[in-house]
Amino acid sequence: MVSDASPAPAKTPVTLREVAALAGVSVATASKALNGQGRMTAETRERIRETAQRLGFRPNSLAQSLLRRRSFTVGLLTNDTYGRFSLPVMSGISDALVDNGVSVFLCNVEDDQRLGQLHVDAMLDKRVDGIIATGKRIDRHLPVDLSNLGVPVIYAFTQPDPGAIAFVSDDAGGARLAVEHFCRLGRRRIAHVTGPASFAVVHARAQAYRDVLTEKGLPVMEPLLGSWSEAWGHQAVKQLFDGKLSKSGGEKPDAVFCGNDQIARGVIDALRERGLDVPDDVGVIGFDNWQIVAEATRPPLTSVDMNLAALGREAGLTLLSLVGGEPAEPGIRKLPCRLVVRQSCGRPPDG
Partner DNA sequence: CGCGATTGGGAAAAGGTTTTCTCAGAGGAG
Partner DNA sequence: CTCCTCTGAGAAAACCTTTTCCCAATCGCG
Cα 138 from Cα 199, distance rounded (Å): 9
For 109-167, the DSSP string reads: -TT-HHHHHHHHHHHHHTT-SEEEEE-S-TTS--SS--TT-SS-EEEESSPPPTTSEEE
Which is nearer to DNA, 23 or 206 (by Cβ)? 23
CB 111 within 8 A of CB 57: no
Which residues share a beta bridge with 304? 287, 339
The answer to whether residue 151 forms part of the interface with DNA (CB under 7 A) is no
35 makes contact, choosing from DNA, a copy of itself, none, with CB < 5 to 8 Å by partner type, with DNA
CB of 45 to a copy of itself, least distance (A): 22
Phi, psi of 297 (to 5 degrees): -70, 155
Contact track, DNA, 57-86, x by CB under 7 A: xxxx--xx-xxxx-----------------
Cα 20 from Cα 25, distance rounded (Å): 5
For 163-227, the DSSP string reads: TSEEEEE-HHHHHHHHHHHHHHTT---EEEEE--TT-HHHHHHHHHHHHHHHHHTPPPPPPEE--
Which is nearer to a copy of itself, 9 or 351 (by Cβ)? 9
Which is nearer to a copy of itself, 207 or 229 (by Cβ)? 229
Which is nearer to a copy of itself, 51 or 86 (by Cβ)? 86
CB of 136 to DNA, least distance (A): 35
CB of 87 to a copy of itself, least distance (A): 5
Binding part of the chain for DNA, among 40-48, 91-99, 289-297, 307-315 by CB under 7 A, reads: 40-48
Which is nearer to DNA, 6 or 35 (by Cβ)? 35
The answer to whether residue 11 forms part of the interface with DNA (CB under 7 A) is no
29 makes contact, choosing from a copy of itself, DNA, none, with CB < 5 to 8 Å by partner type, with DNA
Cα separation values, 85 from 26, 106, 237, 313, Å: 52, 15, 26, 14
3-state helix, strand, coil in the chain (%, to 5): 40, 15, 45
CB of 168 to DNA, least distance (A): 36
Cα 253 from Cα 187, distance rounded (Å): 9
Cα 120 from Cα 147, distance rounded (Å): 11
Cα 313 from Cα 212, distance rounded (Å): 30
Binding part of the chain for DNA, among 22-30, 105-113, 259-267, 300-308 by CB under 7 A, reads: 22-30
Cα separation values, 302 from 61, 153, 293, 345, Å: 47, 35, 11, 7
Q: Is-cis flag, bond preceding 279, omega within 30? A: yes
The answer to whether residue 148 forms part of the interface with DNA (CB under 7 A) is no
Which residues share a beta bridge with 73? 103
Binding part of the chain for DNA, among 13-21, 153-161, 280-288, 328-336 by CB under 7 A, reads: 13-21
Summarize as ranges the residues that interact with a copy of itself (CB under 8 A).
9-13, 58-63, 65-66, 71, 73, 76, 81-83, 87, 90-91, 94-95, 98, 101, 103-108, 115, 118-119, 121-127, 147-150, 229-231, 262, 265, 269, 292, 296
Cα 156 from Cα 139, distance rounded (Å): 12
The answer to whether residue 37 forms part of the interface with DNA (CB under 7 A) is yes
Q: Which of 7, 8, 10, 28 binds DNA (CB under 7 A)?
A: 28
Q: Count residues contacting DNA (CB under 7 A)?
A: 31
The answer to whether residue 147 forms part of the interface with DNA (CB under 7 A) is no
122 makes contact, choosing from DNA, a copy of itself, none, with CB < 5 to 8 Å by partner type, with a copy of itself
Which is nearer to a copy of itself, 121 or 251 (by Cβ)? 121
Dihedral sign (CA 178, 182, 183, 185): positive
108 makes contact, choosing from a copy of itself, DNA, none, with CB < 5 to 8 Å by partner type, with a copy of itself
State the residues that interact with DNA by CB under 7 A. 13, 15-17, 24-29, 31-32, 34-35, 37-41, 44-45, 57-60, 63-64, 66-69
